[in-house]
Amino acid sequence: MANVTRVLVANRGEIALRVMRTCRELGIPTVAVYAEPDARAPHVYFADEQVRLEGPSPRQAYLDIEQLIRVARDHRADAIHPGYGFLSENPAFAEACATEGLTFIGPSAASMRAMGNKVESRRRMTAAGVPVVPGTAAIADEAAALVEAKRIGYPVMVKAAAGGGGIGMRVAKGAEDLPAAFEACRRAAQSSFGSPDVYLERYLSHPRHIEMQVLADAHGTTLALGERECSIQRRHQKLLEETPAVGLSESRRAAMAAAAVKAAAAVRYHNAGTVEFIVSGDDFYFLEMNTRLQVEHPVTESVLGVDLVREQIRVARGERLPSDGYPAPRGHAIEFRINAEDPLRNFMPAPRRVLRYAPPTGPGVRVDSGIRPHQEISAHFDSLLLKLIVWAEDRPAAIGRGRRALQELVLTGPKTTVPFHRALLDEPDFVNGRISTGFIDEHPGLLERTKAFATEGSPLEPLYGGGEIAAAIAAGAVVAGER
């Protein structure tokens, strides 16, 4: 059995706090790390020990493997949880932990490598009998791309081989679009992932993005824990997730679950992971596997009543998962990503100091947050501020609960995605489950309704400070009682 008696959480914000909460429930002390902009962040105060990271930039500080290993060793941590993002899918980090005798709460470096390169993962999935979107291996140059695109058939998607998250993706509707798309994707791939390798996939019109949560132990048990609908996106990145996926038949659900288990088993996967599929008509295809805990894991937890971080720790310790699985999912859950972004300016990041903040409460409402009132939101990091999760007995009730919770949320200072989510829940096509990854582009009126909600605010805002306090904070005055 591996040791997990003191955990260094190699992350920040809401996910760091999320992991620490489970550790505290289990009686496991935690060590927080932070770069200078996060010195007063909630996760730093919540941990049992706090260590400042040094680096040429705040982001690079969180990516310094040698420094993180040294901090873990110096502060007697015997395990590291990477959260998501940063080093969570970096095989070198997992290997460094193993070399130093630290338990990495995640999959093996070998599994990460197998799924981290999208071309290699496509090859493995094909060999395992998992359906993949028609596509190519890595493409060497523009001329080869033109030949392969003609073979696949336009439109095609140009994608980075070494990364995910929608970064670098370009669509070429015809041969005239391909050279620019190819070059732009190569530049983005080199910049974001350190590799210019790209490949082509057939572009599927009006698809849905549905993923399957998996959990696997080292004793041969691999479980699929249900799907999540992730089709509401901007720039190929998710804004809202829900489970179960609306309109998905039981036979399709079972087939996708079986494919996800095959995918994980093909790379000898252990711990929590997510197999992502693109769904078009009656067909579904493997997209990629995220070899980590997902941002949207709370919706799965909500319908199952299972703490996935607790299960991650159990697997990392070498414990067995229940061979007969977990209780059947119950009800419907929706997660709203509340980002510091301006929906009316193409969701551009809008980092600013938080003036007033009070999360919603009440039945079936969960908030995973990494912010506090008067906190300066740094431009160095991802724009996610918090996740609002609602659960109810069915989808219509969950939508109603989401409307109430979004209206109740008090968050002023940065522009956020709250008005967009409020408008989305009033969009008939969303309410009726007629969704695809192109939903925002296909509903131009959605942003007009977003504009109306942006001027409304929460009726509870007057309870959490008035204009004089906000003005003082904006001017840089020290707030009484702030640590």
For the segment 318-350, what is each residue's pLDDT rounded down to a tens digit? 999 998 899 999 999 999 999 999 999 999 999
Per-residue pLDDT at 106 exceeds 90: yes
Predicted pLDDT of residue 217: 97
Secondary structure (DSSP) of 292-360: S--TTHHHHHHHHT--HHHHHHHHHTTPPPPTT--PPP-SEEEEEEEESEEGGGTTEE---B--EEE--
Q: How confident is the model at residue 165 (pLDDT cuts 50, 70, 90)?
A: low
Residue 473's pLDDT band, with cuts at 50, 70 and 90, is very low
Which of 18, 228, 234, 292 is catalytic? The answer is: 292
Is residue 96 in a domain? yes
Regarding whether 296 and 192 lie in a shared domain, the answer is no
Domain count, the chain: 3
Q: Are residues 14 and 157 in the same domain?
A: no
Rounded to whole angstroms, the Cα distance separating 454 from 418 reads: 8
292 is a catalytic site residue: yes
* Residue 70 covered by a domain: yes
Q: What are phi and psi of 293, to 5 degrees?
A: -75, 135
Element holding 119 (H helix, E strand): helix 118-128
Helix (H) or strand (E) holding 365: strand 365-369
Per-residue pLDDT at 478: 40
Q: How many CB atoms lie within 10 A of CB 109?
A: 20
Has residue 470 been placed in a domain? no
Please indicate, yes or no, whether residues 239 and 306 belong to a single structural domain of this protein.
yes
Distance CA 34, CA 39 (A): 6
Same domain for 140 and 101, yes or no, is: no
Residue 75: inside a domain, yes or no? Answer: yes
* Confidence grade of residue 194 (pLDDT, cut at 50, 70, 90): confident
Residue 15 belongs to domain spanning: 7-105
Could you tell me the CATH number of the domain that includes residue 149? 3.30.1490.20
Instruction: Give 470's pLDDT tier (boundaries 50, 70, 90).
Output: very low
Pick the last residue of a domain from 105, 121, 151.
105
Q: Quick one: pLDDT band at residue 466, thresholds 50, 70, 90?
A: low
Q: Which of 329, 323, 116 is nearest to 228 (CA)?
A: 329
**477 lies in a domain?**
no
Q: pLDDT tens digits for 348-388? A: 999 999 999 999 999 999 999 999 999 999 999 999 999 99
The answer to the question of residue 295 being in a domain is yes
CB count within 10 Å of CB 330 equals 12
Distance CA 183, CA 188 (A): 9
